[in-house]
Structure 1
Amino acid sequence: MSETRVFLLPDLGEGLTEAELVSWHVAVGDEISVDQPIAEVETAKSTVEVPSPYAGIVAELHGQPGETLDVGKPLISVTPVSVAGTAADDAAPAEPAGPVVEPAETELGEPAAEPAKAHPEAEAYREEEKAGSGNVLIGYGTPGGHGVARRTRARRSSVALAEPVDTKPAETPTEDDLTLLRTRVPGRLGAVISPLVRRMAREHGVDLGELPGSGEGGLIMRRDVEKAIHAPVVEPAETKPVETKTAEPAAAPEGVDARTGLPIAARTPVRGVRKAVAANMARSRSEIPEATVWVDVDATGLLELREGLKAGGSSVPGLLAFIARFVTAGLKKYPELNTRIETASDGSQEIVSFDGVNLGIAAQTDRGLVVPSVRAAEKLTSRELDAEIRRLTDVARQGKATPTELGSGTFTLNNYGVFGVDGSAAIINHPEVAILGVGRIIDKPWVVNGELAVRKVTELTLTFDHRVCDGGTAAGFLRFVADAIENPTTLLADL
């Protein structure tokens, strides 16, 4: 008799640890096929449909719409449709019937050493894997898909291969260890971590995404986690008062706020994109010593240039695309603003520079503020930038932007003028070091050649990390972009 298989919620991109279940596409008792979409989930970065790696009858749905599920926890249980007289039935092991949790996959680029006896669940999955699967999730690529990398299945005797030989006795990995293999480290796609190291980090609250690896190729070792565990931690002074305050509402009447005495109208959980934005903005403000400079700019020349191009009948990029061209040119002259600061476990810091610009475009969506980025923006013309900005904005608003598109920026351009405001001291999109804001373009009195005239004026605001540069560099970059807007033909010869 076929055993029920449990499909664990996979890592949907860049080390995300949870997702909100939006809706089920199947119900208990339905017969499903491999790669059939079974559920729609919303992560902190996008909304995706999750395909099933199994074919069979839906036995159980692990979660209700609106519920937040952890990566590596059960999502759906599927009972394969039994076929009489098959080799699998004849060779079924004499073990108690029960749910089988599929072994997790490693992140290694080549297969692990073959153990003396393969895990029965892994052997069973290989037969299914031969059929191929077109839809690919991170950690679930298949050889039958379109140009995807082969998967390496983790066996019980080899799940800790990423960790070098230790003087301590080898530990036998549990199902919890296998589950941990599905979780990747944010920002460190190449740092393959053994499940033992991951569990040690989880139990002691160590953030692997911020931990530098001392092993070859940046591999995070057990000693790195142990060092972080024993490092002195200073608790914030406000911890105790906050704990005391959380107990106060219990004494208040139900539905009434204890501090204000007003009726509570609603409670909205902070999750999804809003949760990610809140965490990122709080981290930015707590870690980055930011400063802001701004300048009013006469954009009349740029608007006249666009009108002239329209009159010529050619395709004309949007204003934001022109400004994006000016920004990438400015970052080439002032590369300090296209960097990132990395902090080692010993407190030492490095400024990381990049050979290229991934220009983030802040986009307001129904799910919240997201920042998809135009990769290698410095290589694109104004028309190419316009097309890519429109594409990214569209997929972001649909909730379909990929984790790579949402998490790879090196500098952000924010057009808050669309909201009808002139300026804003924006918060830097951590871990970047600067963000340029553009206000609305309106008619203002302006002195031109000694005479007062009405011109099209906008305000540029640059917020920057004072650790990477001083005011002179920030002002130089801002003035460069402003001059380009006022005299656009100097930089737009390659439209």
Structure 2
Amino acid sequence: MREPKVFLLPDLGEGLTEAELVSWLVKVGDEIRVDQPIAEVETAKSMVEVPSPYAGTVAVLHGEPGQTLDVGKPLISVMPVGAAPAVESAAAPVAEPAATQDAAAETYREEEKAGSGNVLIGYGTPGGHGVARRTRASKRAVAQVPEAEKAADDLLLMRTRVPGKLGAVISPLVRRMARDHGVDLGDLQGSGASGLIMRRDVEAFIKPAPVVEPAGTRPVETPAVSTDVAAAITDTDARTGLGISGRTAVRGVRKAVAANMARSRSEIPEATVWVDVDATALVELRAALKNADPDHTPGLLAFIARFVTAGLKRFPELNSRIVSAGDTAGGAGQEIVAFDGVNLGFAAQTDRGLMVPSVRNADKLSARELDAEIRRLTGVVREGKATPAELGSGTFTLNNYGVFGVDGSAAIINHPEVGILGVGRIIDKPWVVNGELAVRKVTELTLTFDHRVCDGGTAGGFLRFVADAIENPGSVLADL
């Protein structure tokens, strides 16, 4: 009797111990091949499709959409090729087949040889094809999945692909939004390339443009309140006596951010220094470059990023990390680990929360190359497709909160890094130039640093270096 192979939810990235099951891409009774995507899961960092390292027939799906699964716990059970048909649950007995065909067994062995066990999309096993086909259903399977349901599932799969473009599949985030709001993707006309259905298409369907009606003809209606909201409103908070209008579970990105920020505050003795900077010369430099080459001019953030990487080379203490050094004569110790290179993280606001992707080896890139990589990574994280390596490998963070219209902020260090530089909005301010009052483009730089790795002299030296580079960009760029 051959037992089903149980595939455990793999480690999806550094520090991630759980993932939310968004949807299943297969059903009990499906025949799957090595590396075929079987489920969509959402971690605290990104949305990923998990492929199967096994070939065979789906026997058990361990979990329901919306459920949070722990890493290392069963995700799916697969009956090997040539073994008994799919079963209903993990507790159900597996019937041993009357005979095992040699050809089927050989196929299974060959597919097992092809599997490497690497389970993340983009790192799958060689030879995997990801082709799904439904096996000939047994009587038991037919009872579980009616033909109408199977047909509806096949129709939904067809509708999530772009006509005439087999590889273009609608984003999992878009499909999830459509599912949550009861939108049939088959009724939408995509505005993307080759008819791809975009997020804006689903949002437009959910919130159609308001219809203007003549005055006095519109009936007075009582606003509709959902059952969940109505129930929440009747709930009263014991401490304040106010009604509770809603409850939101802390999970996914918000849960990860909360845990990381709390750890940063509890472990890092941080200090903050700041300075106002005359950015007029930098703004004028970029304007001149834009006039000469409008399509390939880096943004202001890319120039500042270039100055930051240069500053970190001069003050490497801020491009380090504190780690446990093991047992020493005095007990458990710590050591400061310095890095040969800079992975520059930058804060990006997305629909899933604040994300911090990092530009690898940023110290080796020009301002134009930094600008291109910042734009690429921003697009990736907003689509929910960033890899754990892109989100967890930073050594220092640059935070442009000026885009939110604020001047300054005492930012929280992105643990386990030891520093974060914030840039406020650039606005016109009165400024003394050569003894005379003038209107200049002024911004505020704020550096929060870990006082264990350096003192105020080092932090002030780094901050002043970046400020001087912004005020005199031409001379600094000539030396980089």
Query: With structure 2 as the length reference, what TM-score do the two structures score?
Result: 0.69
Separation in 2 of the partners of 1:327 and 1:130?
48
2:110 is the counterpart of 1:130: no
Rate the CA distance shift 1:140–1:415 in 2: closer, same or farther, 3 A: closer
Separation in 2 of the partners of 1:441 and 1:354?
32
Q: 2:266 aligns with which of 282, 286, 296?
A: 286
> Which residue in 2 is equivalent to 1:261?
241
| Residues 267-317 of structure 1, C-alpha deviations (whole Å, 9 max, x = no match) | 222111111111110111011111111111111111111111111126111
Task: Read off the aligned partner of 2:290 and give its amino acid letter.
Answer: K
**Any idea what SS the aligned residue of 2:275 has?**
strand
Separation in 2 of the partners of 1:489 and 1:142?
50
Say whether the 8 Å CA contact 1:381–1:494 is kept in structure 2: no
1:186-225 aligned at under 5 Å gives the runs none
Structure 2 gaps, min length 5: 85-91, 97-105, 130-232
| Range that drifts further, 351-360 or 56-65 | 56-65
**Any idea what SS the aligned residue of 2:332 has?**
coil
Separation in 1 of the partners of 2:274 and 2:451?
15
Say whether the 8 Å CA contact 1:255–1:263 is kept in structure 2: yes
Say whether the 8 Å CA contact 1:34–1:133 is kept in structure 2: no
Say whether the 8 Å CA contact 2:274–2:445 is kept in structure 1: yes
2:372 is the counterpart of 1:372: no
> Aligned residues, how many?
356
| Range that drifts further, 57-66 or 287-296 | 57-66
Rate the CA distance shift 1:15–1:430 in 2: closer, same or farther, 3 A: closer
Say whether the 8 Å CA contact 2:35–2:125 is kept in structure 1: no
Q: 1:486 aligns with which of 471, 474, 477?
A: 471
| Residues 312-371 of structure 1, C-alpha deviations (whole Å, 9 max, x = no match) | 126111111100010011111111111111234533221111111111111111111121
Rate the CA distance shift 1:255–1:433 in 2: closer, same or farther, 3 A: same
> Which residue in 2 is equivalent to 1:276?
256
Separation in 1 of the partners of 2:278 and 2:298?
19
> Which residue in 2 is equivalent to 1:435?
420
Separation in 2 of the partners of 1:280 and 1:16?
12
Say whether the 8 Å CA contact 2:53–2:125 is kept in structure 1: no
| Residues 125-175 of structure 1, C-alpha deviations (whole Å, 9 max, x = no match) | 7543224579743998535579xxxxxxxxxxxxxxxxxxxxxxxxxxxxx
Say whether the 8 Å CA contact 1:133–1:145 is kept in structure 2: no
1:49-60 aligned at under 5 Å gives the runs 49-60=49-60
Q: 2:444 aligns with which of 459, 463, 466?
A: 459
| Residues 19-61 of structure 1, C-alpha deviations (whole Å, 9 max, x = no match) | 1111122223333333221211011221100112233333322
2:341 is the counterpart of 1:356: yes
1:77 Cα offset (Å) = 2.4
Task: Read off the aligned partner of 1:47 and give its amino acid letter.
Answer: M
Q: 2:430 aligns with which of 442, 445, 465?
A: 445
| Residues 83-141 of structure 1, C-alpha deviations (whole Å, 9 max, x = no match) | 89xxxxxxxxxxx96499xxxxxxxxxxxxxxxxxxxxxx9975432245797439985
1:396 Cα offset (Å) = 1.2
Task: Read off the aligned partner of 1:17 and give its amino acid letter.
Answer: T
> Which residue in 2 is equivalent to 1:18?
18
> Which residue in 1 is equivalent to 2:205?
none
Separation in 1 of the partners of 2:429 and 2:108?
69
Structure 1 gaps, min length 5: 85-95, 101-122, 147-252
> Which residue in 1 is equivalent to 2:308?
327
Say whether the 8 Å CA contact 1:4–1:99 is kept in structure 2: no
> Which residue in 2 is equivalent to 1:222?
none
> Which residue in 2 is equivalent to 1:38?
38
> Which residue in 2 is equivalent to 1:224?
none
Separation in 2 of the partners of 1:136 and 1:284?
31
> Which residue in 2 is equivalent to 1:469?
454
Query: With structure 1 as the length reference, what TM-score do the two structures score?
Result: 0.67
1:3 Cα offset (Å) = 4.0
> Which residue in 2 is equivalent to 1:397?
382
Rate the CA distance shift 1:261–1:59 in 2: closer, same or farther, 3 A: same
| Residues 166-206 of structure 1, C-alpha deviations (whole Å, 9 max, x = no match) | xxxxxxxxxxxxxxxxxxxxxxxxxxxxxxxxxxxxxxxxx
2:79 is the counterpart of 1:79: yes
Separation in 2 of the partners of 1:465 and 1:17?
27
Say whether the 8 Å CA contact 1:19–1:71 is kept in structure 2: yes
Separation in 2 of the partners of 1:340 and 1:471?
18
